[in-house]
Chains A and B, each alone.
Chain A
Amino acid sequence: MNLLPLFIAVPLGTAFVIVLLGKMREIYSDILATIAALVLAILPFILILTLDKGETLVYSMGKWLPPQGINLVLDGLSRLMLIIINVVGFLAIVYSVSYMKKFTAKSKYYGLFMLMLTGMNGVVLTGDFFNLFVFAEIAAISSYALVAFGVEAEELEASFKYMVMGSIATTLILFSIGILYGLTGSLNMADVGRTIQGNGGTLLSLSMVLFLTGFGIKAAMIPFHAWLPDAHPSAPAPVSAMLSGVLIKALGAYALMRIFFNVFGLNLQLSWVFMILGLVSIFGGGLLALRQDDLKRLLAYSSISQMGFIILGLGCGNYWGILGALFHLLNHSSFKSLLFLNSGAVEYSAGTRKLDKMGGLSKVMPVTGATSTIASLSISGIPPFNGFWSKLFIIIGLVQANHFVLAVLAILASVLTLAYYLRMQRNTFFGKLKKELEKIKEAPLSMCFSMIVLAIACVGLGIFFYPVMKIVLEPAVEVLQKGIKYSSLILGG
């Protein structure tokens, strides 16, 4: 029961201790960061093993009971997000032990990274609106600083664009929290959900629109996506993996799910809005990715496209749609992080990111080539990798809800995904080896370790999807489907 505050306290304490110790010797910060990330990665599995399936824990800070106090809520959806955040975070830190040797201020990097983990863990654990806002801001501000970490001209410009749009999103979210407080007089999510049931009104719709815009900017849906293709390529590779694989999901998709399913309640208009936004994101991201020349920019547009799949599945609203969306969230973290780590390895060894300058790299970098092929096949939806199952579930959900046109469009979008990933693979890893690239070596050991673990996760989630579905995903789907009854669960018990 007392494990829940550790998710927030451990990375927060580690961040400040690393900044203090790192002034002395740099090796201390490496060891401390890795140990802390390992502890954080093991904790969600302990929680899964010791609790029953689907049990909800409510932890009140300082013994102040809700609705006056701030409480931490752990239900099925939070468990899924905690696994994703902490495991990907651990692998990214192991990767950065060798990747960040080129940069100078390594202890500050680890401090900022730990602060980002604190923020994301706090967002998925909290049950209070203002707490959500504060932790989202902690994660966002650390990510602004991390994007501009290597201070080249392009990275500064990308970080400035990201900061301006992120600040607009922050302001909109705060405005909407203010409106909700004025309407209901409380900030607790369960209390607000119980009070606004059944009432309509223009102020409530204004609040919903402002939340959708604010978290839509953070989740990079089209038309709010303009910061993502600049920010994700410019960051160092492990930061890109965390940003694209975890941050847009924890701050964007998770917050949308929690607010719109558990507090406001899903009705017909909202589900159509989600589906249209999802569909536009899929095709916008996919078509723009076809023309890209830079490896990481292509991956960034592909992130927009896959987030569209998740939102499309969420908007569907029935069991298979939500199951497919949550499974796609889990899968996308694994293969998109793997792809970004691969691109970082390519950049570390070959020194370039342009697609027409590379070729035939799988002869000199076998581990990178193999894992990249696994990731590309997974994201395009080839059986038996995990992407196939999640896209299949989303399409089954759409067909069950009688949206046949949308189902056909989703299948077309999968074919589009396969097209640009095949192009990327052919240009990077297969084909003839260019002369100037003949002397490069494979990536160092810690980078290979992270990539191999993620590749095993991709294959394993695809083959063993049935036990994963039963243990981890079904409680999460139940939480979302219960919808507004979430409030009686928190306040009654």
Chain B
Amino acid sequence: MIFFLSFILFLVGLYCVLIKKNLLKIVMGIVIMEYSVSLFLILLGYKKGGFPPIVTAGVEGTNFVDPLPQALVITAIVISIATLALIISLCMRIYQKYKTFDITKIRKLKG
């Protein structure tokens, strides 16, 4: 059931990418999609009544939440930071050349 909700968040992001006409709103749609997938990955590792997977000196117990998806999500977040930095600088350069953020007017390549 929880996974279904993260899939709905993914579809919200996809709607932004497909329908909106402003360049920056499309970028925000991409960011929402990447966050929804990271959320889905973390939720996969949840166990009922689990502890954070850190071995500290005083705490006893072995019911740890799965730590592998957390490592995957750190890597995925860093990759999405790099993509976001690149796409934002592209948007700024496009504004300098085309003087608009409207994607229906940025159509020099056709055919």
The answer to whether A and B touch in the complex, with CB atoms under 8 Å apart, is: yes
Q: Is A258 an interface residue (CB 8 A)?
A: no
* 169-225 of chain A: CB within 8 A of chain B: 170-171, 174-175, 178, 181-182, 187
Residue of A nearest to B41 (CB): A178
Contact with A along B29-72 (1 / 0, CB 8 A): 01001100100110010000000000000000000000011001
Q: Which 6 A-B pairs have the closest CB atoms?
A: A153-B97, A171-B33, A178-B41, A167-B30, A230-B109, A182-B44
Q: Tell which of B23, B75, B86, B91 touches A134, judged by Cβ atoms closer than 8 Å.
A: B75
What are 18 sample pairs from A and B whose C-beta atoms fall under 8 A apart?
A: A141-B79, A144-B86, A153-B97, A153-B98, A156-B93, A160-B94, A164-B17, A167-B34, A167-B83, A167-B87, A171-B30, A174-B76, A178-B40, A178-B41, A178-B44, A178-B69, A181-B41, A234-B109
CB distance from B32 to the nearest CB of A (A): 10
Say yes or no: B108 contacts A153, CB within 8 Å. yes
Q: Is A318 an interface residue (CB 8 A)?
A: no
Determine which residue in B33, B69, B82, B109 has the highest number of CB atoms from chain A within 10 A of its CB, and name it.
B109
Within 8 Å CB of A159, what residues of B?
90
* Cα A73 to Cα B79 with chains together (Å): 24
CB distance from B26 to the nearest CB of A (A): 6
What residues of chain B have their CB less than 8 Å away from a CB belonging to chain A?
Answer: 10, 14, 17, 23, 26, 30, 33-34, 37, 40-41, 44, 68-69, 72, 75-76, 79, 82-83, 86-87, 90-91, 93-94, 97-98, 106-109, 111
**Total A-B Cβ pairs within 8 A:** 91
Within 8 Å CB of B109, what residues of A?
154, 157-158, 230, 234
Interface residues on A, range: 35 or more
CB distance from A250 to the nearest CB of B (A): 18
Q: Tell which of B10, B86, B90, B107 touches A175, judged by Cβ atoms closer than 8 Å.
A: B10
* Cα A443 to Cα B83 with chains together (Å): 36
CB distance from A150 to the nearest CB of B (A): 12
**A160/B30 contact (C-beta < 8 A), A153-B108, A171-B37, A181-B69 known:** no
Say yes or no: B86 contacts A145, CB within 8 Å. yes
CB distance from A293 to the nearest CB of B (A): 8
* Cα A163 to Cα B26 with chains together (Å): 11
CB distance from A416 to the nearest CB of B (A): 18
Q: Is A268 an interface residue (CB 8 A)?
A: no
CB distance from A395 to the nearest CB of B (A): 31
What residues of chain A have their CB less than 8 Å away from a CB belonging to chain B?
Answer: 130, 134, 137, 141, 144-145, 148, 151-154, 156-160, 163-164, 167-168, 170-171, 174-175, 178, 181-182, 187, 229-230, 234, 291-294, 297
* Cα A295 to Cα B95 with chains together (Å): 28
Q: Tell which of B34, B41, B82 touches A141, judged by Cβ atoms closer than 8 Å.
A: B82
* Cα A227 to Cα B106 with chains together (Å): 15
CB distance from B55 to the nearest CB of A (A): 18
CB distance from A288 to the nearest CB of B (A): 9
CB distance from A144 to the nearest CB of B (A): 6
CB distance from B20 to the nearest CB of A (A): 12
* Cα A463 to Cα B96 with chains together (Å): 53
